[in-house]
Structure 1
Amino acid sequence: MMLNFFDQFMSPVLLGIPLIALALLLPWILFPNPAARWINNRLITLQGWSISQATHQLFTPLNQGGHKWATLLISLMIFLISLNLLGLLPYTFTPTTQLSLNMAFAVPLWLATVIVGLRNQPTIALGHLLPEGTPLPLIPVLIIIETISLFIRPLALGVRLTANLTAGHLLIQLIATAVFVLLPLMPTVAILTASVLFLLTLLEVAVAMIQAYVFILLLSLYLQENV
């Protein structure tokens, strides 16, 4: 029994083994692999079409150097979508509600885009810290502000994903608790509340997919500045 609503965000442990490791490994076995046939089934065809459309949408604005990141970023997007959606099932745990995990995704990838920019085009990469035409007295202030803005990007990536998923899960938990409490007292109100809960669950499914897409979209924008 949960002592409070935030217990659902604690990583479960079984026999001293954190089950977050199992949650991270599970999504990879859920996706079907294409068979060695001329025509695939509908599921594999839909999966391939979706990946193709997402890749085209994310990497069309990038030049040829950024296309090397397509496999990494699209794989991460599919992985995040899987984790977010699986976390909506009963008696499951959502690893992406942990800020530490999201920062582990955000910081290395953000740092890689910065390093790529400094290696390939250092003048342009450093030029982002000082907009062209800045008055001389504002130069030190703007450099400090842009530097802080640069280093806060991975924190914004991780916190955005964590906050959106945590807020949605908490809201679902609160409304579900209200339904159980109101059912014996006011059945009509409980049914209306359950309808709201159903709509909120559909919204949370959309949020789970959109937030994973936004995470990768922002990384591709950071990459676009450095390639």
Structure 2
Amino acid sequence: MKQNIQGLYAITDPTLTPDEHLLPAAEAALFGGARLLQYRDKTAPPDLRRRRASQLRALCHEYEALFIVNDDPALAAEVNADGVHIGQSDGGIATARALLGDNRIIGVTCHGDLTLAREAAAAGADYLAMGRFFPSRTKPQAPPAEIATLKQACGEFHLPVVAIGGVNADNAPLLIQAGAASVAVIEALFGHSDPADIEAAARRISTLF
């Protein structure tokens, strides 16, 4: 049974959450109320990624949060993650579904493009990620998206829409009011080095839902 996709969606970053800081930072975000956590690290060796993904899955489940792996359906299947998040060049939904089965979550990056969102919805995505809605230092080259597009997507699709891109406690209400079921946050959480500050930032955003 797939769980509800709603609330604060924390995404790790290898620069902001390097190896020794990853687990304490993730736990602080979960303690602050993150309902989903995505492990995103494209550069670590496979063995380390496998170990970290297994540790994060266990941590997420302690907090009754969903654990998502970025861009790697095979790793998500191997560590029994709750799902995977894929981009437009990561092998497609059918390939991910074949690896993960019907009961795991597949989220898809759709940028600010309703055509991509329609294609993902038709192909069986479980949530649509749209953005970036605000300037992002983590992904500065990501194409901008309009809040009007988010509102249209939330009205058109019977799927959760996750809003991403420069999201923080001050601008998240605009996205939630437009219909976003969840907001994905990287730097506003993990730009803090102190776990207490990560927890406080997570709590500020979580309480908006």
Structure with a larger share of its residues in helix: 1
Please give the TM-score of this superposition, normalised by the length of structure 1: 0.22
